[in-house]
Amino acid sequence: MIYQEAFAKINLSLDIIGKREDGYHDLKMVMQSVSLRDKVGLSKGTQEGISVRSNLDFLPTGEGNLAGKSAREFWNYLNLPPEDILIEIEKKIPVSAGLAGGSTDAATVLHLLNQALTSPLSLAELQKIGLKVGADVPYCLMGGTALAEGVGEILTPLPDLPPCFILLCKPSFSISTPKLFSIISQKRIRFRPDTAGLLAGIHSGDTEQIAQRMFNVFEQALNPHQEKTISEIKNSMLDYGALGSSMSGSGPTVLGIFSDEDKAKSAEYSLKEQYAETFLTVPVSGVC
Ligand code: C5P
């Protein structure tokens, strides 16, 4: 059995540039890996084909799971029939949370399969395979701080964030990503992130500038109930001393950036009383 950790991603910004012919959207996002992680194991299977097992019994157990689908795509790319394998996932990243939990597991399976074959494929090739599995998978294969454009596959690595604490808080409801895309594409987007200002903050290592430029256009497509909960969590983080707060991906996880660990811990303690899925994390560097 070989193992690898699969880190969650957050969006420091998310902007939608336009709708494409294929139904997908062109995006401009600043992504960041954080220390909240799943553990993914790969071993020879005792059953035929690709099996997936996890500590959450509602997750798909075969190629319906992105981790299983990525294994199938890996062998398709090599023009080989899939081997009998068992993928075991210890899930810590909340599901349907805007944290790319499924995509990061899929990316990790690609790394593990490549490692098992003594790394015949480059990162770029793995990213090409990953894109067939999901738009966030190419980013998850590299991790760290990056600008993602196109559907998410045009990636520019950025300098690491300055040391800081990133608090994540997921309310109990889920938001459907395709539904949120469809709602927002019927609206005029009134407010957009200052991506250039955010990138300048990252290049100069200014935590305050980074935190204050965080912005996600999807927050304009939430229903009143979702909007109320998200803004309550954001305000709570800001009251506890977060330098900035925003929603990640298609939500509903809210993130807050703190430079002071004690303030971040107080916010974590308080939010955890109401929201069990609250996690204090730090930024994680990528492979590039
Ligand atoms: O690629 P992934 O499966 O993560 O995307 C989930 C859904 O989000 C897609 O089916 C699509 O509706 C929407 N999406 C999009 N444009 C993107 C990424 C995702 O419209 N760039």
Cα separation, 105 vs 110, in Å, equals: 9
Cα separation, 70 vs 52, in Å, equals: 11
> Among residues 157, 179, 197, which one has the least CA distance to residue 287?
157
Q: Indicate the top mutation candidate among 177, 185, 186, 218 to test ligand 1's pocket, ranked by most ligand atoms within 8 A of CB.
A: 177
Q: Which residue has the tokens 């600008």?
A: 147
Q: Is 152 in the pocket of ligand 1 (CB under 6 A)?
A: yes
Cα separation, 12 vs 286, in Å, equals: 16
Render pLDDT for 253-283 as a digit per residue (tens, 0 to 9): 999 999 999 999 999 999 999 999 999 999 9
Mean pLDDT of 64-82: 96
Cα separation, 70 vs 60, in Å, equals: 13
CA distances from 220 to 23, 149, 215, 282, 286 (A): 20, 20, 11, 27, 30
Mean pLDDT of 133-162: 98
Cα separation, 114 vs 85, in Å, equals: 14
So what's the pLDDT on residue 264? Answer: 98
- 193 pLDDT higher than 90: yes
Q: Measuring from atom 14 of ligand 1, which residue has the nearest CA?
A: 24
pLDDT band at 288 (very low <50, low <70, confident <90, very high): low
pLDDT band at 187 (very low <50, low <70, confident <90, very high): confident
Q: Is 135 in the pocket of ligand 1 (CB under 6 A)?
A: yes
Cα separation, 85 vs 74, in Å, equals: 13
User: Considering the chain, what is the average pLDDT of its residues?
Assistant: 96
Render pLDDT for 159-182 as a digit per residue (tens, 0 to 9): 999 999 999 999 999 999 999 999
The residue annotated as part of the active site, out of 105, 136, 170, 263, is 136
So what's the pLDDT on residue 186? Answer: 86
pLDDT band at 119 (very low <50, low <70, confident <90, very high): confident
Task: Please give the residue that has the higher pLDDT: either 288 or 37.
Answer: 37
